[in-house]
Structures are given as C-alpha cells and as structure tokens.
Amino acid sequence: MESIGVLMACPMSSYLEQQLDNRFNLIRYWNFSDKKQFINDYAHSIRAVVGNAAAGADAELIEALPQLEIVASFSVGLDKIDLNKCKEKGIRVTNTPDVLTEDVADLAIGLILAVLRRICESDRYVKKGLWKAGDFALTSKFSGKRVGIIGLGRIGLAIAKRAEAFDCPISYYARSEKTNTNYKYYPTVVELATNCEILVVACALTPETRYVVNREVIDALGAKGILINIGRGPHVDEKEMVSSLLDGRLGGAGLDVFENEPEVPDNLFGLENVVLLPHVASGTEETRESMADIVIGNLEAHFQNKPLLTPVV
C-alpha cells in the first residue's frame, strides 16, 4: 500500500502522521502554498483524504481529485466533509465514533464545574498572592442544578450519566423523543432552555443545527444560566452570545469550540464567568491514539477490500 496516495488535510496528530507515512504515500496538504499547482501535480495520485474537525473534503476538493475513493475523518464530526458529493461519486466516508465519547463528556462536566465554581479564577487568585488579602468570593454549586442537553446521542447520553451523579435533573432536545431514556423531552430548544439552568450543546453540526443557540434561546436560559459548548462553534450565534455575556443576560459560558477557530472574540478574554479551551475535548493521548488507529484501520480495510470499521457513507 506504500504507493497509494493519501492526502492529509492539515496537521492533526504526530502519531497518525507517522503511521500514515509508514503505510502509504503520505502527502501533506499544508506544505503546498499554491493549491492550484498542487492539484495539477497530485490530483491523479490521491486515492484517500484524511481530515478532521478543522479541515476535510469539500465539494471543490472532491471534484479536483478524480481518483478519490475514501475520506477518513480523524473526528466524530462530519461537517467538514461534503457528504452529498461523496454519495454522488461513490466515495466512502468514515469517522471515529465512540472512542472519544468519554473524554468529551468528562470535559463537559469539567467546564460546568470550572464556570460555576470559578476554578480558573481561583487558581489565579492564589498564584497572584491575593489570598493573603482575603478569602475568594463565594461561587455557585453544581449539584442539583437542572441540566438541559441539546442532542442525546452517544456524547449527550454520556454527559447526562455524569450529571446524574451530581443529582442533576436531566432534560433534552433532539429531532425526536428517545424511547431508550426517561429524561424529560422538550420539542424545542427554547422550551429546553427555559426549563434548565445549564444548557449543554452536544449535537452534530448540520444546516438545521447551525445557530441552534440564538438570541431567543440565550434569553430563555437567562441571566443565571450557563451555556456549555463541546459541539461545534457554529452551533451558537457567537455575536449574540458575546453580547449577552457583556450585558449580563447570560450568566456564564464554558466553551471548547468557536465559530472561526482559532479566532476567539477578544471581548471574552476579560470575563471571569467564561472558561475558554482550544478545542481539546477529545485531546488526551489515549483517545487521540485510538482515533488514529481507527483512521488507519479504515484505510487499510478499504484498500484490502474488507468491511470498513466505522462507515458513514
């Protein structure tokens, strides 16, 4: 398989990059400043694309690669891949579900605790020597607070399970009511936000869920409400969220994702009721290695005419 051309869309994992390099003819897309010349030189040799949450395979790239057979995502999300174009051309698509569920759910709970208990601010308080001048301000408890989850898939369920351990009543919004749970279902996100104190975004990014958290939802969550986003940045109307935090219409936010990563609104940097992370929900050594192994496994299976490990298309 060493002669098979595999295009890596952007830097994403040194382990994955090494494993791909050992098995395939790895082409690193980010090393080419002239994309048009790159396409002219390599279009007919690339049979696979490896992408992630930052870069994948849009319609333009797919059209430019006539020998493309498979797109393997180093991510559970598929919003950077034109699935319709892949279906139209018979291109297989895979992702990395399940292995990152626990890490993402853990981080969601960590963000909730960090925002409510002001953990980051408390850390800075001690390190700056301010404790000697007096005790830190009181914070807000997590246990028993009403948690609403947008999207009750694998990750949403894992977050719910963890929040239940804090005696939190759980409710959710999804495209339809789930039959495998007794959690309270709300048919709209506004109703969910109205009836919870912590709103967690855990759904896939689709045209329907873009800006699923808008001004109406934020106002329904209210001045004491906390927004947690471990989904994708465009799930939230970022301008409205920033405005609501500055105006005091939203109580706080814990954000692992942003609308135009790695750009983050400057107005968020000075807010102590906001915790910001650089899209690291699945960012543990153990999980990233497992994700990489799935990507490799899918590529090897495809080119050996074996069933894919995690097929999407």
Residues with catalytic roles: 232, 261, 279
Cα of 102 vs its chain's centroid, Å:
13
3-state secondary structure 163-211: HHCCCCCEEEECCCCCCCCCCEECCCHHHHHHCCCEEEECCCCCCCCCC
Burial class (CB in 10 A: 0-12, 13-18, 19+), 166: middle
Phi first, then psi: give them for residue 228, nearest 5 degrees.
-120, 125
Q: What is the identity of the amino acid at 180?
A: N
- In whole angstroms, how far apart are CA 36 and each of 7, 32, 40, 281? 15, 9, 6, 34
Could you count the other beta carbons within 10 Å of the beta carbon of residue 309? 19
> Distance between CA 218 and CA 76 in Å, rounded?
27
Q: What is the identity of the amino acid at 87?
A: K
